[in-house]
Structure 1
Amino acid sequence: MQRLAPIILLLVGFFCAAQAAEEVGDLYQHRVEVNSQAATERTNALREALQATLLKLSGDDEVLASPIVDNALRNVRDYVVQYGYQQDTEALYLWAQFDPAQVERLILDAGGGIWSSLRPKLLVWLVQENEDLQRRIYAADSEAIVVQQLRNAAQRRGLPIQLPLLDLNDTMTVSVIDVWARFMDTIDFASQRYSPDGVIIARIYQTIPDPANLDLVTDKWQVDWTLNLGELRWRGEATAMDPGELGAAVIADVTAQLAARYRISSESDVSQQWTVQIDNLPDLTTTIAAEQLLANIPAVNDVQLVAYGQRRAAFSLSLTTDPARIRQALDLSQELQAVAVEGEDPTESNLFRWIAER
């Protein structure tokens, strides 16, 4: 059986089957505001659009600093499938569509990895303490700069987010104290109505000057954030002179940490073999679907069906990455569920059960 053309595997990312991560579209296209259709401005806009596309796909700012990417930007037209101009009532934009295979290859050559197009929906509880030590939670309809920057950054990085409505239902359930103190039982209960895959709690407040260095100029504002996603936890912090910048800082940090865990990279030019067993495959159609799922994982060069019997199939995979990375991808798949084998380390199991409804 032949492998289909490589595409990004749609990973759910350790979410419960009842939850539905959101598929992010338009990963291979981007539009940039321009002042005119002049050739020089068009070239610069295409470069900016390619950079944005690389960031959405990899979630990795370091990829953009690669000399390989720098060379690609100088030859940006080699990656463009089509482009055009779009005019609305406020501005003129250049829109560009890039070749998926070439862009993915560029990311891998630059030492990065490709993040799934199916990404977690995150509910953001954003609370700020002002100079008078008064606190407020930002609602979904807020026009505050910090919220606008949060939304813009999430859109640029392909991260689906939402903020709570803070309607009567919310205010009767959760208070600003609950969010500031991170009382997770209360926050989780209030979050259920939004059916998110994960919850971010971000707190913005003024930094405390160092009394020993009062003349030292430091950022005036700070944000610390936590992300609860399934059983996993992330945290981080950032500072800025303007609190409006901290929404984007949270998204940049969250995206980088999520993508670092779940993107798949080609880590080696040396191919290695790994056998995967998949149970609960009742017929040929389902077996072919399982083979295609395996074949569509980045860094899987080839898939061969080597055995089938009693509803279980064994596939031999040719890889250019550590099998642990592929196992992690399969662990997070909507279609497969890892099966624990008695006496075996669950993280090293190569047995999975087909659970997709086909």
Structure 2
Amino acid sequence: MQRLMIIVGLVLIASFLPVQAADETTELYQHRVQVNSQAASERASALRDALQATLLKLTGDDTVMEHPAVQSALADVRGLLVQYGYQQEEQLWLWAQFDQPQVDRLIQQAGSGIWSNVRPRLLVWMVVEEEDLSRQLMAADSEAIIVQQLRNAARRRGVPVQFPLLDLNDTMTVSVLDAWARFMDTINFASSRYSPDGVVVIRVYQTEPSAEQTDKWMADWTLNLGQLRWQGQVTGMDKSELGAKAISALTADLAERYRIGSQSDVLNRWQLTIHDLKTLEATIAAEKVLASIPAIIDVQLLGYGNHAARYELTMQADIARIRQAIDLSKQLRPIATTSTDEESANLSADYRWVDPQ
């Protein structure tokens, strides 16, 4: 009877309680574009730009734009458009909202997947080496074009980024040489005050002239996210464009790992138990976190007791992909088990709920 009452209570009030997910990117199906006027020709171009930006934000996949279905949708945006309007601030903006189910189907048709709205917050340590070989760390208040373009590219792709303040605390801990040499123990210690999900180190410098390399500038980057490590490099003739190129490249790698496709016609089922759910509100919030993950079709509460809730997920995706999406949530932490049986792990799992701060 107690379990029944809890289930009934969840159904009655689930829609009234917000989820407090870490770094939840909002307005994934909306975008706004700066325009000069409300002329019809400019409006049509801006709506195409808005849809293209929305698809990029959802997938992190530049190649999706090349698919014929996407090209067709971009040629006639009206079929996906819910509403649009103009916003006058310092500049004139066109704001557009697109139909989520239709956009999701378009992405599926293009053979890509959707990246959940829970995105890792990245702290960026960027060192720029000038032509005279002097080096400078970029601070949060920097107005340098390379920093502003990086921020714009991250915003366009729906990834929250920040730069260190480079105040006394930072400069006493991390030197330009530390960042340039990627002394990660030092960098991670200084980064802890910002509580980021991942730490990015970007180095910008002139390239060595060669027959193969015609670009004048290069940026190499590393990303530490939990136990994962990525690295890459980008080049360009203009130094100021490399911040945007670097963040676009590393975001593409992140999205490739975390976006979830729903091409499979097979529905998988997976049970997981979430512990430390000490309140009804936490239990509802946990269910909403699970339901927000793309390709999860249904979340059923099987039972609750001793501050633990057991759910069954119906999914149109591999369990491994769902695990990766859950990994990005600060509120669900896996509980290590001694079992090495992969089949058992694919049937059920245990997580611990962490209340948002």
**Alignment TM-score, normalising by the size of structure 2:** 0.84
Matches within 5 A, 1:83-122: 83-89=84-90, 91-122=91-122
Letter matched to residue 182 of structure 2 = R
Q: Is the aligned partner of 1:128 residue 2:128?
A: yes
Task: Please name the residue that 1:15 is paired with.
Answer: none
Task: Please name the residue that 1:352 is paired with.
Answer: 350
Distance of aligned partners of 1:70 and 1:184 in 2 relative to their CA distance in 1, 3 Å threshold: same
Task: Please name the residue that 1:198 is paired with.
Answer: 198
Distance of aligned partners of 1:292 and 1:222 in 2 relative to their CA distance in 1, 3 Å threshold: closer
Q: Contact conserved, 2:274 with 2:353, CA < 8 A, in 1? A: no
Task: Please name the residue that 1:16 is paired with.
Answer: none
Q: Contact conserved, 2:277 with 2:353, CA < 8 A, in 1? A: no
Distance of aligned partners of 1:180 and 1:299 in 2 relative to their CA distance in 1, 3 Å threshold: same
d(CA) in 2 for partners of 1:76, 1:68: 12
d(CA) in 2 for partners of 1:289, 1:187: 34
Matches within 5 A, 1:187-266: 187-210=187-210, 213=211, 218-266=214-262
d(CA) in 1 for partners of 2:121, 2:288: 26
d(CA) in 1 for partners of 2:249, 2:76: 30
Task: Please name the residue that 2:3 is paired with.
Answer: none
Q: Would you tell me which structure has more helix in proportion to its own residues?
A: 2
Deviations 1:236-275 (A, max 9, x none): 1001011111000111012111111122211312333334
d(CA) in 1 for partners of 2:217, 2:330: 40
> How far does residue 286 in structure 1 lie from its aligned partner after superposition?
6.5
For these two proteins, the number of residue pairs brought into alignment is: 341
Letter matched to residue 348 of structure 1 = A
> How far does residue 303 in structure 1 lie from its aligned partner after superposition?
4.0
SS at match of 1:117: coil
Q: Is the aligned partner of 1:298 residue 2:294?
A: yes
Matches within 5 A, 1:265-276: 265-276=261-272
d(CA) in 1 for partners of 2:128, 2:71: 39
Matches within 5 A, 1:293-332: 293-305=289-301, 315-332=311-328
> How far does residue 23 in structure 1 lie from its aligned partner after superposition?
2.2
**Alignment TM-score, normalising by the size of structure 1:** 0.84
Matches within 5 A, 1:10-89: 21-89=22-90
d(CA) in 1 for partners of 2:147, 2:244: 9
What is the percent sequence identity of the aligned residues? 60
d(CA) in 2 for partners of 1:43, 1:171: 49
d(CA) in 1 for partners of 2:46, 2:82: 15
Superposition RMSD in Å: 3.0
Structure with the greater relative contact order (CA < 8 A, sep ≥ 6): 1 or 2? 1
Deviations 1:62-107 (A, max 9, x none): 2222212112222311222211122334x32211122223223322
Distance of aligned partners of 1:105 and 1:313 in 2 relative to their CA distance in 1, 3 Å threshold: same
d(CA) in 2 for partners of 1:261, 1:164: 26
Stretches of structure 2 that go unaligned for 5 or more consecutive residues are 1-6
